[in-house]
Amino acid sequence: MTSHKMRMSYSNESILTNIELYGLEFVHHETKIPYESLRTMLKTSKKFGGFRQRGRKILYPEFDNELKCWIRQHRAIGRKVTAGRVLGYSRKIAKERGYTGINFSWGWLRRFLKRHRFSLRKPSSLSIKPLGTVLESVNIFIQEMKDLLKHPHYDPKYTLNVDETGLSTELDHSKTIDDVGAKNVKVKTTGKSKDNTTVILGGSMLGDKLPAFIILKGKGVKKLNISQPGNVVYGFREEGSWVDLKIMEKYVDKVLIPWSKKIPQGMRGLLILDNCKGHISKEIEDNLAKNFIDVKRIPPNTTGYVQPMDISVNASFKRKFAEHWDLYQFGLDDTKLTKRAGNYSKRRQSSMDFKSMVQCH
């Protein structure tokens, strides 16, 4: 068996230097690089004064760097910089300065973003206030909470945070696995993509969970045909499943007031809520106060910074619900489909929505 010596890697500069010192024949013999390749490298170096970089040449590098700084300056103060805005700004500057030979197209924009390690991102939060003002509100709220918890009437064990989260009964999985080149990639649905369910979740600073309050769409007083566990409470709303003051009144009566009986004599509970108008009213606040629960409002536009349920709980709850829903759909092979659209039975699905939320909680 013939053994081949592994070729070492050499930089272009070192190869050119050795060619100038020792000649092509010597470098070819020592490096095992083909003679014609060495000649092409030498010719290219002499013609362009150095090796050409791969890819297209940047015609106006000073503007390329200027545009990069312009984007970073706008993003540093929280402004939205869209692809269309970058292209419009670039074309305007090119016209004012007389730049020619460059087409500010979508292909150019993709190369620019890749060159400077940018990407199009979906905003994780929206704010109508400058970032500095929001951070100032956050710091003030944190200090106020520290001062409140020093008071002998309040304790972290009886300090609650409550927030709602929406659950779609037709989970939106954007992609599915299928054969390469398949023309029709169909996915069976339940036909209820517009029907959502809202769940109000709550817990204390020490991790004690409140019963989950599930809001279902329906008229009048109804009962579910499945057993109701102790950690779940449900209610119905005629016009939809979102949270309003009437739903919050039911939540206070069914969840918060029964919980308030755990508060020791001489102490008070503290409920942290955001500034949504559908969450609190003077009547609700007075009712809570009678049951030894005081309300502390979160400053506007700071939910993503100081509300624990929104930051760390809601997303994990939705993920668990999605996992249970997927397992349920895999077991629907023997379920009878509706005649009209070939969808899964709505009655079967409605009970499973509730069961999945119970298992998640």
Residue-wise pLDDT for 98-147, tens only, equals 888 888 888 889 989 988 888 888 777 666 666 677 888 889 999 999 99
Distances (CA, A) of 173 to 149, 177, 326, 346: 43, 11, 10, 20
The answer for residues whose C-beta is within 8 angstroms of residue 172's C-beta and 6 or more apart is none
Q: Is beta strand 269-273 parallel, antiparallel or unpaired with respect to 159-168?
A: parallel
What pLDDT does 348 receive? 45
- pLDDT of 67-83, one tens digit each? 999 999 888 877 889 99
Given CATH 1.50.10, say whether it is the number of domain 61-115. no
Residue 53 has pLDDT above 80, yes or no: no
Asked whether residue 262 carries a pLDDT value surpassing 90, the answer given is: yes
Band (pLDDT 50/70/90 cuts) for residue 48 is low
Dig out the tokens for 57 from the structure.
Answer: 């040449």
The pLDDT-based confidence of 236 (bands split at 50, 70, 90) is confident
Would you state the pLDDT for residue 350? 45
The pLDDT of residue 351 is above 50: no
| CA 97 to centroid of chain Cα atoms | 40
How far apart CA 149 and CA 337 sit, in angstroms, is 56
| DSSP sequence for 50-106 | SPPPSS---S-HHHHHHHHHHHHHHHHTT----HHHHHHHHHHHHHHHT--S----H
Mean pLDDT of 268-296: 91
Selection from 96-110, 157-171, 236-250, 287-301 with the highest mean pLDDT: 287-301
Task: Please give the average per-residue pLDDT across 343-353, as a whole number.
Answer: 47
Residues 6+ apart with CB under 8 A from 352: 325, 328
Q: Residue 309: is its pLDDT beyond 80? A: yes
- Are 356 and 348 within 8 A, CB to CB? no
Tokens of 343: 């969808």
What's the pLDDT at 341? 45
134 token code pair = 């929001």
Confidence at residue 311, expressed as pLDDT on a 0 to 100 scale = 85
- Mean per-residue pLDDT of the chain: 79
Q: What's the rounded mean pLDDT across residues 259-283? A: 91
Q: What is the CATH number of domain 131-172+190-312?
A: 3.30.420
Q: What is the DSSP string of 324-338?
A: HHHHHHHT-TTSPBP
- Asked whether residue 31 carries a pLDDT value surpassing 90, the answer given is no
**DSSP of 261-328:** TTSPTT--EEEEE---TTT--HHHHHHHHHTTEEEEEPPTT-HHHH-HIIIIIHHHHHHHHHHHHHHH
Predicted pLDDT of residue 194: 65
DSSP characters for 111-169? HHHHHTT------S---SS-HHHHHHHHHHHHHHHHHHHTSTT--GGGEEEEEEEEEES
294 CB neighbour count, 10 Å cutoff:
15
Q: pLDDT value at position 5?
A: 47
- Show the tokens assigned to 130: 């400058």
Using CA atoms, how far residue 317 sits from 12, 217, 232, 321, in Å, is 56, 20, 14, 6
Starting at the edge strand that comes first in sequence, how are the strands of the sheet with 232-237 ordered? 232-237, 212-217, 196-204, 159-168, 269-273, 293-297
Note the pLDDT of residue 331: 65
DSSP-derived 3-state class of residue 234: strand
Where is pLDDT greater, at 38 or 45?
38
Q: How many CB atoms lie within 10 A of CB 309?
A: 21
Task: Say whether pLDDT at 358 is over 60.
Answer: no
pLDDT digits (tens, 9 = 90+) for 139-185: 999 999 999 999 999 999 999 999 998 887 666 556 777 787 777 77
Evaluate if residue 91 carries a pLDDT over 70: yes
pLDDT value at residue 219? 67
pTM of the model: 0.59
**Cβ-Cβ contacts under 8 Å for 43 (sequence gap 6 or more):** none
Which residue do the tokens 């989970």 mark? 171
With a pLDDT cut of 90, the percent of the chain lying above it is: 25
